[in-house]
Amino acid sequence: MKVLGIESSCDETGVAVYDTDAGLLAHRVHSQIDLHAAYGGVVPELASRDHIRRLPLLVRETLSDAALRTTQLDAVAYTAGPGLAGALLVGASFAEALAFALGLPALPIHHLEGHLLSPLLSAEPPAFPFVALLVSGGHTQLMRVSGVGAYALLGETVDDAAGEAFDKTAKLLGLDYPGGPALAALADAGNAKRFGLPRPMLHSGDLNFSFSGLKTAVLTVTRSPGFASDAKADLAASFQAAVVDVLVTKSVAALKQTGLRQLVVAGGVGANRNLRRSLDAAVRRRGGRVFYPEPELCTDNGAMIAFAGAMRLSAGAQGQRSGRVEVRPRWPLGEVTPP
Ligand code: KG4
Ligand code: ZN
């Protein structure tokens, strides 16, 4: 079965075709980073308009890459939430209309389910059950994943997401949007031991996170007398080490608590090389293994949505044929059910 996947929840327009027999046939992403850079963050209205502008051509190009006609598709999957309402509506309207016109089922997909399942697209995929660490710009969660749609929340951030902390701290240090990768690059040249930043909730006894205080601690350091701008790399490295420390400690605790050995990491922050190195070492020490999506599938993309749709379809999901467009800008992952 061939499933077209459409992602438009934030600032990336992603389109892909996944074939349950042949795997990923094609995927394309258009990033709006340049569009939003001047504003230091995503402008929702501009995001929606750009999705409208890009989506039709991107779908045509992706189908052409896959050497497919629309009539050869079996279903259309799209991100129905969570995300920016206007941006979601663009993908949802397009997908529902296309599916309705072709007489195909439409599959509304939870964005984080896409991220969660994306490591299954790699050459050596994990097997269910596993613990998933979801670290993106909007979410930081640990989950026990026992199958498609079977997600039990183990812990989550009580304030900022890890990616958000990276972005906000990068801004404090005068780095350009999106700050995460820029801060990570600056940290490479820094001494992580120079500033002793807090490890929020490290010993809270649960699997929850808190990152907003860390950003404030960074702000306090930059305002302290004698702080020189040449210490920025050290501060970036110290910040990154604090975030990585907390993420690694809680991930290992989640493996212990569930008795599982496989950890899956998904979401944009999963691209962070320091995090990967520390997680690999800590989990290997416990005789476990960490699985990541292919680097290009760490950030938002249509492949993970096409794949999640295909998994659901294979498991018997019927999809919807009403053409009705409904999005859920706020949609707890715990409310997702198996097909
Ligand atoms: O999953 P994603 O593409 O978008 C959603 O939030 O859904 O994640 C984007 C987030 C941003 O906060 C970005 O700064 C962060 O991931 N990020 C990184 C790195 N690459 C992306 N954070 C730290 N280190 C990186 N190398
Ligand atoms: Zn995402």
Residue pLDDT, tens place only, 89-102: 999 999 999 999 99
Residue pLDDT, tens place only, 28-60: 999 999 999 899 889 999 999 999 999 999 999
Buried b (16+ CB within 10 A) or exposed e, 1-20: ebbbbbbbbbbbbbbbbbbe
- Ligand 1: which atom is nearest the Cα of residue 138? 6
* Ligand 1 lined by 138 (C-beta under 6 Å): yes
> Residue 41 has what pLDDT?
87
User: Are the CB atoms for 258 and 288 separated by under 8 Å?
Assistant: no
What is the average pLDDT across 311-319? 97
Whether the pLDDT of residue 191 is over 90: the answer is yes
Residue (of 1, 13, 10, 85) closest to 303 by Cα position: 13
Choice from 299, 305, 333 to test ligand 1 binding pocket (greatest atom count within 8 A of CB): 299
> Residue 63 has what pLDDT?
98
In this predicted structure, which of 212-216, 227-231, 321-325 has the lowest mean pLDDT? 227-231
* Ligand 1 lined by 166 (C-beta under 6 Å): yes
* Ligand 1 lined by 269 (C-beta under 6 Å): yes
> Residue 289 has what pLDDT?
98
> Residue 295 has what pLDDT?
86
Residue pLDDT, tens place only, 132-169: 999 999 899 999 999 999 999 999 999 999 999 999 99
> Residue 332 has what pLDDT?
92
Amino acid at 62: T
pTM of this prediction?
0.93
What is the average pLDDT across 262-274? 95
CA of 143 to the centre of ligand 1 (A): 19
Cα–Cα distance, 298 to 115 (Å, whole number): 8
Can you tell me whether residue 88 is helix, strand or coil? helix
Please provide the average confidence, as pLDDT, over all residues in the chain.
96
What is the average pLDDT across 251-273? 96
Cα–Cα distance, 191 to 112 (Å, whole number): 34
Cα–Cα distance, 17 to 5 (Å, whole number): 6
Between strands 75-81 and 2-7, the pairing is parallel
Cα–Cα distance, 241 to 247 (Å, whole number): 10
* Ligand 1 lined by 137 (C-beta under 6 Å): yes
pLDDT grade for 240, boundaries at 50, 70 and 90: very high
Give residues whose Cβ lies within 5 Å of ion ligand 2.
136, 300
> Residue 327 has what pLDDT?
98
User: C-alpha angle 272/81/176, rounded to 5°?
Assistant: 40
Long-range contacts of the stretch 127-130 (C-beta < 8 A, 24+): 127/262, 129/258, 129/260, 129/262, 130/260, 130/262, 130/263, 130/264, 130/291
Instruction: Determine if residue 276 is left, alpha or beta; phi over 0 gives left, psi from -120 to 50 gives alpha, anything else beta.
Output: alpha
pLDDT grade for 124, boundaries at 50, 70 and 90: very high
Choice from 8, 32, 111, 269 to test ligand 1 binding pocket (greatest atom count within 8 A of CB): 269
> Residue 229 has what pLDDT?
82
Q: Longest Cα pair distance anywhere in the chain, in angstroms?
A: 67
Distance in Å from the first CA to the final CA of the chain: 16
pLDDT grade for 338, boundaries at 50, 70 and 90: very high
> Residue 177 has what pLDDT?
83
Residue count of the chain = 339
* Ligand 1 lined by 267 (C-beta under 6 Å): yes
Give every CB contact of residue 174 below 8 A, 6+ residues apart in sequence.
232
> Residue 230 has what pLDDT?
86
Structure tokens at 285: 């020490």
- Ligand 1: which atom is nearest the Cα of residue 167? 14
- Ligand 1: which atom is nearest the Cα of residue 275? 24
Sheet of strand 106-110: strand arrangement: 23-31, 12-19, 2-7, 75-81, 106-110
pLDDT grade for 116, boundaries at 50, 70 and 90: very high
